[in-house]
Amino acid sequence: MLNPATPIEKNPTYSRCADFDHPAIYQLTEPVDHAEEPTWDERKNMLYYVDMIAGGIYSYNYETSEVNSIHLDGAVAPVIPSEHDENLLIVGLNQAVLALEWDGTNQIGRQKVLANISQEFPTSRVNEGKADKEGRLWIGTTGTADSSGTMTPNAGIVYKITKESLDRPTVEIAPVNISNGLAWNAANDKFYYVDSLSFQIAQYDYDNELGTISNRQVAFDMHDYPEITGQPDGMTIDEDDNLWVAMYYGGVVLKINPTERALLQVIGLPARDITSTMWGGPNLDILFVTSSRLSLTDEEKLYYPAAGSLFAITNLKTKGRPVFNVDLIESI
């Protein structure tokens, strides 16, 4: 469980005197290079996340604070529990989607490749994914950066994968640059999506029965807020349909009302590169936040020693909704 003796309060908007109405920030883990893709499993009171480029899959046990990990050969994202087996995870690996057995504690079990994606872009890789209400997997890819740090443009795709389409994943959005955050509203008739280099949050009409999107609009545009630096990355949504967006290079999480295109709150964290967000905890009122140190210089790592850690933010006066699991396979 969270240790209330170790809060980290780095938000410059916090009062200098005690003010218990403000969010409290906790560093939960030691840093990894590029923590990403937090996913809450309410069956185990456990949070999964990845060290994406290094191939690490991590579990954080909410009750004991124990952290365990396994490693795969390549870039991993996302990691999502299976609907039918709490010890079966659906994982993106390089240009594939696989099922693997892991209980979050012991050694990895059997593995099985379920689908291959992004074959038309040989240097692309998985980057973000979530399950919708029906257990379909939505997974996005990204191009990779060259030695100068320049990203290959338009080398990413967003796919939808179902039980019936394992051998032919459906292209839903193409092309994209860096496929990132995905979320659905409570009514399940809107789908929100981030292509980081667009500096926008897109909104689509969503047909849950068909699992299709249409009518793209801009729900939020970072260009309207030049005082906020960075790129939108991963995101989640709360019970009031507000988005909580991680800002890479920005050091903050943004609370956004996409209906009003309004910025409601900015929360600073002790890391420059914030990668993703996810509601969790027994009451779904803890915002888990991942971060990266991958792009930091040695000097910047000294300035941001907690970069790459998993954080938790409490006292946000809202909560999330139950997380959907993937329904692609019952067992290996």
- Break the chain down into helix, strand, coil percent, rounded to 5: 5, 50, 45
- Summary count for the chain: helices (H), strands (E): 1, 24
Q: Is 180 annotated as a binding residue?
A: yes
Dihedral (C-alpha) 89, 94, 97, 103: value to the nearest 10 degrees? Answer: -10
Element (H, E) at 303: helix 298-303
Dihedral (C-alpha) 207, 176, 99, 94: value to the nearest 10 degrees? Answer: 180
Q: Is 87 annotated as a binding residue?
A: no
Residue 146 annotated as catalytic: no
The one catalytic residue in 233, 238, 285, 327 is 233
Q: What is the distance between the alpha carbons of residues 63 and 158, in angstroms, rounded to a whole number?
A: 35
DSSP, residue by residue, 37-91 = EEEEETTTTEEEEEETTTTEEEEEETTT--EEEEE-SS-EEEEEEBSS-TTEEEE
Q: State the burial class of residue 93 (Cβ atoms within 10 Å of its Cβ: 0-12, 13-18, 19+).
A: buried
Q: Is 208 annotated as a binding residue?
A: no
Q: Is 125 annotated as a binding residue?
A: yes
Residue 127's SS3 state is strand
Q: What is the distance between the alpha carbons of residues 39 and 300, in angstroms, rounded to a whole number?
A: 28
Q: Is 233 annotated as a binding residue?
A: yes
Residue 165's SS3 state is helix
Residue 168's SS3 state is coil
Cross-strand partners of 24: 314
Task: Indicate the annotated binding residues.
Answer: 36, 125, 127, 180, 233
Task: Indicate the annotated binding residues for substrate.
Answer: 125, 127
Catalytic positions are 233
